[in-house]
Amino acid sequence: MRHPGRWVASGVILVLVAMLVNTLVFSHVTRGGMVEGRFQWPVVWKYLFVAPVLRGIGVTLELTAIAMAVGIVLGVVLAVMRLSPNRLLSGSAWIYIWFFRGTPVLVQLTFWYVGITYLYPELTLGIPFGPAFYTVNANTLVTSFIAAALGLSLNEGAYMAEIVRAGIISVNEGQTEAAQSLGMTKAQTLRRIVLPQAMRIIIPPTGNETISMLKTTSLVIVIAGADLFTATQNISNTNYQIVPLLLVASIWYLLFTSVLTIGQYYVERYYARGSTRALPPTPFQRLRRDLFRIRTEPVPALAEAPWVAPHG
């Protein structure tokens, strides 16, 4: 044997996989005098697509989308403010980030739901220190969904601001100078030249943030947020099938984080244009290539592949 270590490791892994499959699928356990499958997959299956769970998924996805969309816009604004030579702008952005990054999101969520109505029972639209045009009861305006969206968005804005700022300062100053020498305004330079290049740095952590946000939405259970986790918890509170319903929630969270991971891969590829000379094939392209090519000769090493551009 040439690689005894690999054989041993493979053997260990195979045994572990067999144990995992066994415990997940085949093993049984006695609970309260009844023999039942350890993981109760039939129960999981039964609740996987019930209406409250599906509604919960809707809320979870909505909250994720809103929090990320607002968070990204807010992050870009805050990042540009922080990089502004104007001290008032950069200072206020700094304080915003300091505050929202420095307090737990769970505390913020509770605050938006409970604290706001306590501090400001009536919300007023009008001229500051002047007449009011419109007054509304905070209890009717700030529903748990609004509080959740608000809390998650404002918190995400602080994190996105730092990500966007890192992206912006990673772009070579020569790019700004070249754009300005063409006569582009500061706004055009930012939008057309700097941000597209910053995207390459911004996208991967933003993907992480989105995946993280999808799961963070489960915190809204503390303000009765009606999301996926709240829905499964509500069910298990009545039928006591705690573990199967945790599995229901996990399966859905895993499904959506997987979709996001794939999406992130393709968005990253899009913004890698011009930074690598030839993009590596996607997993699907590689699979297709491997399936439809008869391998009679060894595959050429990737290092001597087509991206060696002719110079001259």
Partner 1 sequence: MAEPMVRATQVRKCFGRVEVLRGIDLSVDTGEVLCLIGPSGSGKSTFLRCINHLEKIDGGELAVDGELVGYRSSGSKLFELRDREVCRKRAEIGMVFQSFNLFPHMSVLDNVISGPVRVKKVSAAVARERARGLLDRVGLADKVENYPNQLSGGQQQRAAIARALAMEPKLMLFDEPTSALDPELVGDVLDVMRGLADDGMTMIVVTHEMGFAREVGDTVVFMDGGVVVESGPPETVLSAPRHERTRVFLSKVL
Place of tokens 């601001």: 161
Tell which one of 4, 128, 174, 306 touches partner 1 (CB under 8 A): 174
Decide if residue 186 touches partner 1 (CB under 8 A).
Answer: yes
Decide if residue 85 touches partner 1 (CB under 8 A).
Answer: no
Kindly state the smallest distance separating residue 55's Cβ from partner 1, in Å: 42
Q: How far apart are CA 306 and CA 288, in angstroms?
A: 19
Tell which one of 36, 122, 177, 290 touches partner 1 (CB under 8 A): 177
Q: How far apart are CA 166 and CA 174, in angstroms?
A: 17
Q: Helix (H, G, I), strand (E, B), or coil: what is residue 276?
A: strand
Contacts of 47 (CB under 8 A, 6+ apart): 53, 232, 235, 241, 244, 245, 248
Find the binding residues for partner 1 in span 244-283 (CB under 8 A): 271, 273-275, 277
* 149 vs 195 by CB, closer to partner 1: 195
Decide if residue 179 touches partner 1 (CB under 8 A).
Answer: yes
Query: What is the distance, to the nearest Å, from the Cα of residue 283 to the centroid of all Cα atoms in its chain?
Result: 22
Q: How far apart are CA 150 and CA 138, in angstroms?
A: 14
Choose the stretch contacting partner 1; rule: CB under 8 A; options: 9-17, 159-167, 168-176, 230-238: 168-176
Tell which one of 85, 102, 183, 306 touches partner 1 (CB under 8 A): 183
* 114 vs 166 by CB, closer to partner 1: 166
Give the count of beta carbons closer than 10 Å to the beta carbon of residue 191. 12
* 303 vs 309 by CB, closer to partner 1: 309
Tell which one of 16, 95, 178, 242 touches partner 1 (CB under 8 A): 178
* 181 vs 238 by CB, closer to partner 1: 181
Tell which one of 88, 127, 299, 309 touches partner 1 (CB under 8 A): 309
Tell which one of 106, 114, 184, 224 touches partner 1 (CB under 8 A): 184
Q: How far is CA 18 from CA 21, 23, 24, in A?
A: 5, 9, 10
Beta strands per DSSP E along the chain:
28-31, 34-37, 122-126, 132-137
Give the count of beta carbons closer than 10 Å to the beta carbon of residue 214. 23
The phi, psi pair for 133, rounded to 5°, reads -95, -35
* 175 vs 233 by CB, closer to partner 1: 175
Q: For residue 246, what are its two tokens? A: 């945790």
Find the binding residues for partner 1 in span 187-246 (CB under 8 A): 188, 192-193, 196-197
Binding site for partner 1 (CB under 8 A): 172, 174-175, 177-186, 188, 192-193, 196-197, 271, 273-275, 277, 309, 311-312
